[in-house]
């Protein structure tokens, strides 16, 4: 298999990120706004069975992470599964992965920006969201190291807030039992839906892979960064889910609009509520920052191959970032912020992300043993898990996501016909 290059006349990004930088970028994407909001809908779907859903989501995420890490080590360039699908399965599958990622994660950017606004200034969430997108796009424009530094700060703040929530909840008095009723409360459908809702908490490791061209010693750094960030995230989510169930119980947790703020209130520490809300806004900012980084790099990779306008492949001569791609992503996210709602953006994004990871697992399955192929069961279980979780989503999300995939396929076919003329 030929090595990946940027192509003649194309500028390469500079390898500035070490292991610590890559880990905090992954953590910033995974320990984001979802940890403050996802437990409630997961409890509504499965009751205490959300813990089984969390375990299932983590298992699928582990398979996806292993496949992505092996592929990223083999192809250490920007683009993530867009690149892997193109190299292992053919141009169409790579394009479909890139299309799913760019479209789905652009919607995620809008969702995270709206989350910032809802927590900071509920009556003016769109204005706050636009300001957040503009600020973080400008930060990314000036260099990826600055973005990594801010992400590290955000991760520290969010982890401190979550530690305070868990400590308050577990020391507040007698806790409710969270394990005995799992089997009786959770049907298979409820657990699957809970897993689908919780899976996206773990999806941030894709941002590490899409930065493959900017990481030092990527064959070693990327797999280690993915494993570390995924492990830390799983521990954090288990602690938060157990605390929320122990303090509130499944029914009250399911009905809560701000579950972790309600946990500290129920624990007798309502003064921590504003701190938790501020932590949620900071977490959403961290997710938004990492999302813009990943989407802009995949946009650049697709532009290099002329699946998107070639001008988006430009790299800034001073800051060494894909500045036009970042600006384009920022503008599109602002449009979505002004025209969509939070639930619609999240549902649309979920389907696209699962398609993206399904193609990653299929790509990893084709690796020969000499190129770092994972055990065969890993990509098979990852692919099956992605498909199952995708079709556990609400019907409107599945229909909308499928329609967008069809539109992408039609655009691909039109480009192929034009290129033959």
State the fold for domain 19-415: Amino acid/polyamine transporter I (1.20.1740)
Q: Is 274 exposed, middle or buried (0-12, 13-18, 19+ CB in 10 A)?
A: exposed
* pLDDT of the chain, 421 residues: tens digit per residue: 444 444 445 566 667 678 888 888 778 778 877 787 778 888 888 888 888 899 999 899 889 988 988 888 788 776 778 889 999 999 999 999 999 988 988 988 998 898 888 778 878 889 999 999 999 999 878 765 555 677 778 888 889 999 999 999 988 766 555 554 544 455 778 888 888 878 867 777 666 766 666 778 877 788 888 888 888 888 999 999 999 998 988 888 888 877 888 899 888 888 888 998 888 888 888 778 878 887 888 899 889 888 889 999 999 888 888 999 999 999 999 999 998 887 778 778 888 989 999 999 999 999 998 887 899 999 999 999 999 999 888 788 889 899 999 999 999 998 888 887 7
Q: Please give the model's pTM, rounded to 2 decimal places.
A: 0.79
| Chain segment 331-354, per-residue pLDDT in tens | 999 999 998 887 778 778 888 989
CA distance 411 to 421: 16
N residues, the chain: 421
Please say whether the beta carbons of 140 and 288 come within 8 A: no
């Amino acid at each position: 298999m030929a090595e990946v290059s940027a192509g003649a006349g194309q500028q390469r990004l500079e390898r500035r990120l070490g292991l610590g930088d890559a880990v905090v970028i992954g953590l910033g994407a995974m320990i984001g706004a979802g940890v403050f909001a996802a437990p409630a809908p997961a409890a509504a779907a499965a009751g205490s069975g959300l813990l089984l859903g969390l375990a299932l989501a983590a298992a699928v995420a582990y398979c996806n992470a292993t496949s992505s890490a092996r592929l990223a080590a083999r192809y250490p360039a920007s683009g993530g599964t867009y690149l892997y699908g193109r190299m292992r399965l053919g141009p169409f599958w790579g394009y479909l992965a890139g299309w799913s990622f760019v479209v789905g994660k652009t919607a995620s950017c809008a969702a995270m920006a709206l989350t910032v606004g809802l927590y900071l200034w509920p009556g003016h969430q769109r204005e706050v969201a636009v300001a957040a997108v503009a600020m973080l796009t400008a930060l990314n424009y000036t260099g990826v190291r600055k973005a990594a530094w801010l992400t590290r700060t955000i991760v520290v703040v969010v982890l401190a807030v979550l530690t305070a929530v868990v400590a308050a909840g577990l020391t507040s008095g007698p806790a409710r039992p969270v394990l005995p009723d799992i089997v009786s409360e959770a049907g298979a459908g409820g657990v699957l839906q809970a897993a689908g809702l919780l899976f996206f908490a773990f999806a941030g490791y894709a941002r590490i892979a899409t930065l493959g061209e900017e990481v030092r010693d990527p064959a070693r750094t990327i797999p280690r960064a993915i494993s570390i960030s995924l492990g830390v995230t799983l521990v954090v989510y288990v602690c938060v889910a157990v605390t929320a169930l122990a303090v509130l119980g499944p029914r009250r947790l399911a009905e809560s609009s701000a579950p972790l703020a309600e946990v500290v209130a129920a624990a007798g520490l309502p003064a921590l509520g504003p701190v938790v809300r501020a932590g949620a806004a900071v977490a959403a900012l961290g997710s938004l920052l990492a999302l813009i980084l990943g989407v802009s790099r995949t946009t650049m990779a697709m532009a290099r191959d002329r699946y998107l306008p070639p001008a988006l492949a430009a790299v800034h001569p001073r800051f060494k970032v894909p500045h036009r791609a970042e600006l384009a992503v920022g503008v599109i996210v602002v449009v979505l912020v002004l025209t969509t709602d939070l639930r619609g953006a999240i549902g649309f994004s979920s389907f696209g992300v699962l398609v993206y990871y399904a193609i990653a697992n299929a790509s990893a399955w084709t690796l020969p043993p000499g190129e770092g192929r994972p055990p065969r069961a890993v990509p098979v279980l990852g692919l099956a898990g992605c498909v199952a979780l995708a079709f556990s989503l609400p019907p409107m999300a599945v229909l909308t996501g499928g329609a967008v995939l069809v539109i992408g396929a039609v655009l691909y076919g039109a480009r192929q016909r034009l290129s033959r003329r």
